[in-house]
Chain A
Amino acid sequence: MNTITTKRFNMEDISNAINIGLIVVDADSKVLLWNNWIAKHSDIQEADALNRLLENAFSEPVSAAFMTALKNTLAYRLPVVLSTALHRTPLPLYNASEANQPQTRMYQSITITPIQSQQDESCCLIQVTDSSTSIKREKMLRSHSEILKKEATTDGLTDINNRRFFDAHYEIAVAEAKRQKHPLSIYMIDIDFFKSYNDYYGHIAGDNAIKLVAGALQSQLSRATDIVARYGGEEFVLVMPHLPQATAEQFAEKLRRAVFNLAIPHINASPFHRLTISIGLCTGIPENDDNLLNKADAALYQAKQKGRNQYISLPLCETHEYLEQ
């Protein structure tokens, strides 16, 4: 007491001015101190709380874990921490919110420390801090990082995956197919006569056409394992695991038809005068240095040579290719 009275300020003023919650209880858990912060966030005035048992001082129940912690501190005189992560809101405390909005229960970090009263009784100091703001901050950082992550792997024009995403995904997909010995299908897709489309209809129409084609390709995918990405200007690439050769080829035809059915007029593209795509497909179980992507690209070249608006499928294994020829 002496040390306090010789100070030029009152400890009670401090406890009421401080921006954390302070409660002191005695060995029977009767409330001896209830600072302004607690009064404000519990909506229970000090006068109504003093001398009541802590579990009855609030208008709602206190969490069981909090009561266990308090009992332990009173019994063993050892300090206890209750983390936000494991407890969220042990005490019925609320954050002041805008009028006519429901109040939200405050996320709390709590420390319970044993102290001695002036009568040498065993008491406990309960300190409560509001972790709502740090949770909000962490959540905000997380959602920002998710947005950035998404932006970094999405193509700005078409909203499908970009080249960066494809490069990473392709490597993983090939490794997975190698390990599990299952087939992987790569489709390289190119819009036919796109340069002349751009020249005739202008770049804005060109961009629009790319968007429509991307949408048509994307809409054909239904499995979570399948991805489509914009590979370059008017080039797209699809990665699809687990397809038998015949199914993979049927799917290539489905892709061709989906774009054909968009019926985007292209006056300079004979004989259909609409926007079409050529597809190079390579399906196989990758081993060693087999390069599905190169094969698919070679197939795409052949599809262009053979008249466009079609798919060409090349097997991964060279010998099969010779046999077919």
Chain B
Amino acid sequence: MSGLSELHLDALAEIFSIGAGRAALSLSEIVGDEVHISVPYVQVLNSEDINSATLSLNSGRFGAVSQHFSGPFNAEAVLLFTEEQALKIVSDMMGSQMSLEELAEFEHEAMCELGNIILNACLSAMADILHFTLESSLPHYRVASANEILHRFKDNSDQPYVMLLHIDLVIEKRHTTGNLVFLLSSASLTNLVIHVDQFLGSIA
């Protein structure tokens, strides 16, 4: 239905894995400790089919970093972590110098940076490999409930497609998982398919 075959999805997973590797490298440099990020799989769904199970969202609140990308295709990319995970990641990254509850402002900014690094790395890997350039807005961080997030994804008639990346992030032996969600319009999805096809053609 989405026009993306298994082959396309495998190619995208490969591309995003390269991006995740780059993001891990940047994060390692900042944290001064080894960071591993992997993208186990990529899914493309109709936004109506998106639910708490597909996003593995349980109850609770989520930290979401979003950026709007434009270029050959337009997308809103949203990186989701549970709020608790987001806090742990940032506190690990920040070390013990600041306590989180008391330094909310800095935590938000740090979360923005973390999301920015992962989003940019995935998008730039894609741009590199599929040979196009993308522009992007600055990252925005907000905390929302699972319902608010789902509502926003579903309520978006301009962007009927959702590309979903599951992300594994390991910092200093702490293992967390998150989701990177791309909201795509039909035209954007078509253009993405064209670019992936060209790429697959070039390596075939």
A contacts, CB < 8 Å to B: 64-65, 68, 72, 75-87, 109, 111, 113-114, 134-135, 138, 141-142, 145
Determine which of A72, A85, A109 lies in contact with B98 in the assembled complex, contact meaning CB atoms within 8 Å.
A85
| Residue among B26, B29, B90, B137 making CB contact with A85, cutoff 8 Å | B90
B187 at interface by CB-CB < 8 Å: no
Q: Please state if B112 and A83 are interface contacts (CB–CB under 8 Å).
A: yes
Q: Is the interface of B mostly helix, strand, loop or mixed?
A: helix
**A138 touching B113 by the CB < 8 A rule?**
no
* Residues 73 to 93 of chain B near chain A (Cβ within 8 Å): 90, 93
For residue B91, which residue of chain A has the nearest CB?
A85
Question: In the complex, A129 Cα to B36 Cα: how many Å?
Answer: 31
On whether A138 and B109 interact (CB within 8 A), knowing A68-B29, A76-B127, A78-B124, the answer reads no
Contact of A86 with B30 at beta-carbon distance under 8 Å, contacts A76-B120, A78-B124, A134-B105 already known: yes
A75 and chain B: residue at smallest CB distance: B124
> Which residues from B are CB-within-8-Å of A81?
109, 112-113, 116, 138-139
Q: Please provide the chain B residues from 86 to 128 with a CB less than 8 Å away from any CB of chain A in the complex.
A: 90, 93-94, 98-99, 102-103, 105-107, 109-110, 112-113, 116-117, 120, 123-124, 127-128
The answer for the CA separation of A65 and B28 in the assembled complex, in Å, is 10
In the complex, which residues of chain B have a beta carbon less than 8 angstroms from the beta carbon of A83? 106, 109-110, 112-113
By a CB distance below 8 angstroms, the chain A residues around B127 are: 76
| Cα A87 to Cα B90 with chains together (Å) | 12
26 contacts between A and B (CB under 8 A): A64-B29, A65-B26, A68-B29, A72-B120, A72-B124, A75-B124, A76-B123, A76-B127, A76-B133, A78-B120, A78-B134, A79-B116, A79-B137, A80-B117, A81-B113, A81-B116, A81-B138, A83-B109, A85-B90, A85-B107, A85-B113, A86-B30, A111-B138, A135-B106, A138-B106, A142-B99
Contact, CB under 8 Å: B138 / A85: no
Which one of B93, B102, B106, B137 has the highest number of Cβ atoms from chain A below 10 Å of its Cβ?
B106
* B135 CB-CB contact with A under 8 Å: yes
Enumerate chain B residues within 8 angstroms of A78, measured Cβ to Cβ: 120, 123-124, 134-136
- On chain B, the number of residues with a Cβ less than 8 Å from chain A's Cβ atoms is 31
A65 close to B29 (CB less than 8 A): yes
CB pair B120–A80 under 8 Å, yes or no, is yes
A75 to B103, CA, bound (A): 33
A22 to chain B, nearest CB (A): 16
Of chain B, the residue at the smallest CB distance from A141 is B102
A121 to chain B, nearest CB (A): 14
Contacts A81-B116, A81-B139, A113-B138 given; does A76 touch B102 at CB 8 Å: no
Contacts of A87 on B, CB cut-off 8 Å? 30
Interface positions, chain B 1-40, Cβ under 8 Å from A, are 26, 29-30
Contact partners of B128 in chain A: CB under 8 A: 76
Contact, CB under 8 Å: A80 / B103: no
Contact A84 B135 (CB under 8 A): no
Q: Which single member of B102, B107, B133 contacts A77 (CB below 8 Å)?
A: B133
Which of A65, A111, A138 has the largest number of chain B CB atoms within 10 A?
A138
- Which 6 interchain pairs have the tightest Cβ spacing? A76-B124, A85-B110, A83-B109, A85-B106, A83-B113, A142-B102
* B122 CB, nearest partner CB in chain A, Å: 10
Task: Please pick, from A65, A80, A84, A142, the residue contacting B116 in the complex, using a CB distance under 8 A.
Answer: A80
Q: A68-B26, A78-B134, A79-B137 are in contact. Are A85 and B103 (CB under 8 A)?
A: yes
> Chain A contacts of B116 at CB under 8 A?
79-81
Chain B residues with Cβ under 8 A from A109's Cβ?
109
User: Given contacts A64-B29, A142-B99, is CB(A77)–CB(B113) below 8 Å?
Assistant: no
Measured between beta carbons, the chain A residues less than 8 angstroms from B99 are: 142
Additional A-B contact list (6), CB under 8 Å, known A68-B29, A77-B134, A83-B106: A81-B116, A81-B138, A83-B110, A86-B93, A109-B109, A145-B102
A138 and B123: CB pair below 8 A?
A: no
Q: Taking the nearest CB of chain A, how far is it from the CB of B92, in angstroms?
A: 11
**Given A82-B113, A86-B94: A77 and B135 interface contact (C-beta under 8 Å):** yes
Name the CB-closest residue of B to A142: B102
Are B105's CB and A138's CB within 8 A? yes
The residues of A that contact B93 with a CB separation of less than 8 Å are 85-86
Q: What residue in chain B is nearest A145 (Cβ atoms)?
A: B102
Contact partners of A135 in chain B: CB under 8 A: 106
Residues of B contacting A111 in the complex (Cβ-Cβ under 8 angstroms): 138
Distance of A159 Cα from B177 Cα, bound (Å): 47
Q: Report how far A76 CA is from B117 CA in the complex, Å.
A: 12
B123-150 toward A: CB 8 Å interface, digit per residue (1/0)?
1100110000111111100000000000
Closest to A73 in B: B120
Which residues of the partner chain A approach B113 to less than 8 Å between Cβ atoms?
81-83, 85-86
Q: Are B102 and A85 in contact (CB under 8 A)?
A: no
B183 to chain A, nearest CB (A): 18
